[in-house]
Amino acid sequence: MSAARAPRPFVIAVDGPAASGKGTMARRLAAHYGLPYLDTGLLYRMVARAMLDAGHDIRDAEAAAQIVESFDEAAFPEERLRGREIGEAASVVAAVPAVRAGLLARQRRFASQPGGAVLDGRDIGTVICPDAPAKLFVTATPEVRAARRHKELIGRGEAVPFDGILADIRRRDARDSGRSDAPLKAADDAVTLDTSALTVEEALAAAIGIIETRRAA
């Protein structure tokens, strides 16, 4: 008698540009489906934080390659990772191929948990979990994303002009989309969800609708 085949883990890949709402969406989807959640942007932010803490130039690719081999996730509470400066620095270290390679295994390990997982980032559907059965590419206009990030930073006590945030978003889009290793782009089999005119609840309902269609397929 052959053993029953274990069901394939149900992985939901959520990709998209900075401040597109993908983090909120991924967290809510994880709660909805009872799956563990990994914000992969935090890993790049940890590498950037460790670089800055050690006094390295953020563009020093060799130092970043060494740090990615040795950094301790537990040493970086989330409040040290969310600031404006760290988002920018993370996108610089994220363009270093050795950094991406160094973070690949732990993301795949997380995704291969028995029941599945929700991961959000830039390359989950294209590189980390190309076989994920459900892939969303969450986006919004640069102006809407800048307004969301502006509100978030003000809530954290970082007073920054809106125009500066919009410039950050555009620069980060260009860097994340233009890098040669795992550039930000929708996987061929991802469904794009533009949240510019949607509330969080509307976007979540749309995402669940897309995922249920995939699950039924």
Using CB under 6 A as the binding rule, the residues of this chain from 47 to 86 that contact ligand CDP are none
Distances, alpha carbon 60 to alpha carbons 48, 88, 89, in Å:
11, 15, 11
Using CB under 6 A as the binding rule, the residues of this chain from 24 to 53 that contact ligand CDP are 40-41, 44-45
3-class secondary structure, 82: coil
User: Is-contact 68 103, C-beta < 8 A?
Assistant: yes
Q: Does 122 bind ligand CDP (CB under 6 A)?
A: yes
Using CB under 6 A as the binding rule, the residues of this chain from 135 to 194 that contact ligand CDP are 172, 176
> For ligand CDP, which residue of 63, 123, 134, 211 counts as binding (CB under 6 A)?
123
Does the CA dihedral 168-77-126-183 come out positive or negative? positive
Closest contact distance (angstroms) between CB of 7 and ligand CDP is 26
d(CA 39, CA 16): 12
Q: Which is nearer to ligand CDP, 129 or 206 (CB)?
A: 129
d(CA 43, CA 91): 11
3-class secondary structure, 138: strand
Q: Does 121 bind ligand CDP (CB under 6 A)?
A: yes
> For ligand CDP, which residue of 13, 29, 38, 87 counts as binding (CB under 6 A)?
87
Q: Which is nearer to ligand CDP, 113 or 213 (CB)?
A: 113
Number of residues counted as binding ligand CDP (CB under 6 A): 16
Q: Does 13 bind ligand CDP (CB under 6 A)?
A: no
Report the amino acid identity of residue 35. L
Give alpha helix (H) positions in 3-161: 22-33, 41-53, 61-70, 84-93, 97-111, 142-155
Closest contact distance (angstroms) between CB of 115 and ligand CDP is 21
Binding site for ligand CDP (CB under 6 A): 18-19, 23, 40-41, 44-45, 87, 90-91, 94, 121-123, 172, 176
